[in-house]
Every structure is written in C-alpha cells, then in structure tokens.
Structure 1
C-alpha cells in the first residue's frame, strides 16, 4: 500500500477513535465534545487576514463553518499519520508498534496548545480558560488516545490490506 493511502487510512481511523472518545467522555463524564464549527470559523477567517481572536465564539459565524472544521479535523489527523509514517518509515504500517504512535499522538498536542488555542482566544495551552489545568489534562488524554488510535488503525490497515 502506498504512503498516501496508508496515511489516509491510519489518520482517519485514529481521528475516528478520538471522536468515539468524545462521545464516551460526554456520556461518562458529562464533558461536552469539541465544537469543530468554531475551528472552522477560525480557519475561515484566515483568508481575511484574521489569525487570532480574543474569543472565537464571539466572532460572526461563517457559512459552512461546521463542514470546514470537521474536514480540517480529519485532514489534521491524516497529516499526523503522515508524520508518523514519514519519521518511522513506511515499514511501520507492516508492523505497527505502540511507541511511535504514542509519541506522535502525545506530540500532536503541541498543535492545539501552541497554535489553535492561542489563535481562538484560549491562550497558550488553554491559559485563558476558566480551568486551564483541566483543559490541559483533557487535551493530553485525548491526544494520547489519538496515539492509541494511530496504533489500532495501523494494525487494522495492515490486516486489511496486506496480501
């Protein structure tokens, strides 16, 4: 299987795992899932020259922001899978190991901590939120689960597409 297809399957699978986690987290812990519409709003304002907002929730909605946000969510997951396969090589897909997947999963928390949260008005590592420590722990757990999802999706992809 080629690099692009492997990245797509592993990344989309791992992203689906964190979406399932968001559903379980809401049911078990009462924590609302992320609003990817707000991510779409943030991204949709970038071509207009706005990269940072005091509060993305207070910014005017953009038509199609939910679709933009959800699409970005999956494309970002696919991009991190491509990083995993790029760093550990395409051979990783033939024998997935947990360590590299977890490193990429937890490492991917840098994106929301240093780019998304500050750009959307939450500050670096959620420092401007009402409960920064809780937000940071939730992000770390979610990205560790993304790492678990990379590993599981790697095994599933290998199982389904190895002759």
Structure 2
C-alpha cells in the first residue's frame, strides 16, 4: 500500500510542479518546458538518435505531445518511488519538508545531466541563451515537485 501511495504522491507532486509553472507563466511570463520536446526526444531514441542540435530543429513526430505528458507524469511517479527506494517507502511517506523538498531539488540533476544535453541544450543548460535563467527555472520546478511530495505526504499522514 505504501508504494501505491508513493506513486500517487508522485502524480500529485508533478501536478503541483505544473500548477507552479502555470502560475509563474501568468505572473512573470516565464514559460515552462514544452512537453512535446520530451515526447520527441523519446520517439527519436528507437531510431538511434539520443542527442539533438537543438531539439526544436528536429522534425516533430506524431504523438510527441501526448507521449511527453505521459512521460512527465511517469517520471514523477518514478521519482517518488526512487525516494522510497532510497529511504524506505514508509519513511518516504512521513511528511518531512527537508527530505521532500531536498529530494525535489536534487532531482534536478536528471534534466541537468540527461535531458538538457539530449535536447542539445548542453549539461546544466550551458548552451541555452540564458543559462542562469534556465537553471533557476529548473530548480524552481523541481523545488515545486518536492513541495508537492511534502504536501501530499502531509495529507496522507492526516488521513491515516
């Protein structure tokens, strides 16, 4: 049951990340990630293409947006399960702001070191027009994911 709850926490945390992106876009004009690029990146992999220069210049593929959104939420679930694997599912469900938000912030290593290079943005967004802004946006997004994990686990604890 704990693993199922953790998966649910991953879904809610991903939704918190998305709501945070919408709020930031509305208030500050800061756009979030276009999940069609995630889908495009994944759809090119079976064709042997793992790196793009940049991904916006690669031809779009049928179903990329839908796949990108599914992958986004699947990654959220996987990250929550990853936290459970690291510290134990029962402990991962205990609301702890330091653990959950810290884990969210550390999880930014995945886009920094895997996704951004694959998109042609360079490690830690170094090839983007404004690397500092891109890094800040990624950290805020993953911090929001961690906050979502914390709030969900807090809610679960209240219901238990």
Name the TM tier (shorter chain): over 0.9
TM-score (normalised: structure 2): 0.94
Gaps of 5+ in 2: none
SS at match of 2:121: coil
RMSD, aligned CA: 1.3
User: For this pair of structures, how many residues does the alignment match?
Assistant: 160
Consecutive unaligned residues in structure 1, runs of 5 or more: none
Return 136-145 or 15-24, whichever deviates more.
Answer: 136-145
Looking at structure 2, the residues matched to 31 and 121 of structure 1 have their Cα atoms a distance apart, in angstroms, of 21
Match of 1:84 in 2: 83
Distance 1:137 1:81 in 2: 22
- The residue aligned with 1:111 is 110
Spell out structure 1 runs of 4+ moving beyond 4 A: none
Of residues 112-121 and 147-156 in structure 1, the stretch that sits farther from structure 2 once superposed is 147-156
1:28-59, CA deviations, whole angstroms, 9 ceiling, x for partnerless residues?
10012210001100010001100001111111
Give how far 1:158 is off. 3.4
Change (3 A) 1:94 1:80: closer
Distance 1:94 1:112, change over 3 A: closer
Normalising by structure 1, report the TM-score. 0.93
